[in-house]
Amino acid sequence: MDVQLDKSIGGYQGLDLPWFDANLSEATVLTNSARSAIKITLSAIGASRVWLPAYTCDAVVDAVKDLDIAFDYYQISPTFDVDTAVRLDKGEYILIVDYFGMTSGSVKRALQRFGYANVIVDCSQAYFFEHTGALATVWSPRKFFGLPDGGLLYSDDPRIKQPEERDNTSESRMGHLISRLTNSPEKAYKKYLEAEQAIADLPVLGMSELTERLLCAADYESAKNVRTWNARYLHSHLGKYNHLNFTLNEITAPMCYPFLPNVSTAKRSELIANRVFIPSYWPEVLTRVEEGSFEWELVTKGLFLPCDQRYSKREMDRLVRLLAIE
């Protein structure tokens, strides 16, 4: 029987959404969060120990703790490379992060150093980074598009499988996204925090039909091009004042522009007072590293400037002016 015969015909109209690829072809597993994708990977391979960067969010750490897998932290250099003292024993794996979508060079060096079969690449901040043959590559599309949840995973390992059950709770996490269209971000912020906590409480599930459809409505190529242009524009104005030495090319489409100033500039609180809302990656890291370390500097002094597809040269110029570089 043709399954299309089971679909309804007529009735009231739903949302009119365009249809784009949104890079779903890169994924072999669709999940309800990047955290779930990491859990699926670690559960499937039977890891005895995992090395995690000290510079990462608690969500990643909690995913490993939930599985009761032993783990150690490693520190990164100013080039975002793994501490040279780290060695993997049998049954151990390492998670490498493409920070801000701008550290693919250090990811590739880690793959060569530790072996592709031993590396999980966390691309939660690098949606446009293609998989490179690692054991698993994980993306978090809701950090780049307006989605209630969702994660993507690519792996050639046959042990890593798609969850049989889909998430069916995504609709309950649409409030902040809808409110963001009609209200200020301040008014929707509480709903956003509630949605984030709800995602953290979810079990491992497949991506919901709602999230998958919304993701297919995202204009992947346009978003990529705008992010690339905005980041390069910011870098042209701020690069010489930035402790972080990045090379931006025509395909670098980062989550944000990471700025670690080497001069006097506006503080994060001053930008927020001017309604420029920038995240802090990640306060919990300060409990894992020593004061004065590279990670400490990133947390306490880093300014992670928006450069996404919602904005144009006008907003980028405003950012530069508000930084008030001396």
pLDDT computed for residue 247 by the predictor: 82
Same domain, 76 and 204: yes
Is residue 110 included in any domain, yes or no?
yes
Spatial distance between the Cα atoms of 191 and 179, rounded to a whole number of angstroms: 9
Identity of the residue numbered 215: L
pLDDT computed for residue 1 by the predictor: 42
pLDDT computed for residue 7 by the predictor: 73
Model's pTM, two decimal places?
Answer: 0.93
Range of the domain at 230: 220-323
Same domain, 178 and 288: no
Same domain, 65 and 205: yes
Spatial distance between the Cα atoms of 22 and 172, rounded to a whole number of angstroms: 23
Same domain, 191 and 303: no
Residue pair 158/41 in contact (Cβ under 8 Å)? The answer is: no
Spatial distance between the Cα atoms of 223 and 10, rounded to a whole number of angstroms: 34
Same domain, 231 and 132: no
DSSP string, 13-58: ---------TTGGG-SEEESBHHHHHHHHHHHHT-SEEEEESSS-H
pLDDT computed for residue 319 by the predictor: 96
pLDDT computed for residue 9 by the predictor: 84
Task: For residue 125, give both structure tokens.
Answer: 């901040």
The per-residue pLDDT for range 287-296, each reduced to its tens digit, is: 999 999 999 9
Is residue 183 included in any domain, yes or no?
yes
pLDDT computed for residue 168 by the predictor: 96
Residue 12 has pLDDT above 70, yes or no: yes
Spatial distance between the Cα atoms of 256 and 273, rounded to a whole number of angstroms: 19
Residue 269 has pLDDT above 70, yes or no: yes
Domain boundary among 163, 183, 216: 216
Task: For residue 203, give both structure tokens.
Answer: 């079990």
Same domain, 258 and 159: no
Is residue 49 included in any domain, yes or no?
yes
Same domain, 112 and 232: no
What is the count of structural domains for the chain?
A: 2
Same domain, 75 and 194: yes
The per-residue pLDDT for range 80-98, each reduced to its tens digit, is: 999 999 999 999 999 999 9
Spatial distance between the Cα atoms of 64 and 282, rounded to a whole number of angstroms: 18
Same domain, 104 and 250: no
Phi, psi of 261 (to 5 degrees): -65, 140
Is residue 181 included in any domain, yes or no?
yes
Phi, psi of 300 (to 5 degrees): -90, -25
Task: Determine the average pLDDT of the residues in 128-147.
Answer: 94
Task: For residue 192, give both structure tokens.
Answer: 């956003």
Q: What is the CATH number of the domain that holds 176?
A: 3.40.640.10
Task: Determine the average pLDDT of the residues in 274-290.
Answer: 95
Domain boundary among 193, 216, 239: 216
Mean pLDDT of the chain, nearest integer = 93
Identify the band that residue 316 occupies on the pLDDT scale cut at 50, 70 and 90.
very high
Spatial distance between the Cα atoms of 206 and 211, rounded to a whole number of angstroms: 10
Is residue 17 included in any domain, yes or no?
no
Q: What count of Cα atoms within 13 Å lies in the side-chain half-sphere of residue 188?
A: 16
Residue 36 has pLDDT above 90, yes or no: yes
The per-residue pLDDT for range 207-251, each reduced to its tens digit, is: 999 999 999 999 999 999 999 999 999 999 999 999 999 888 778
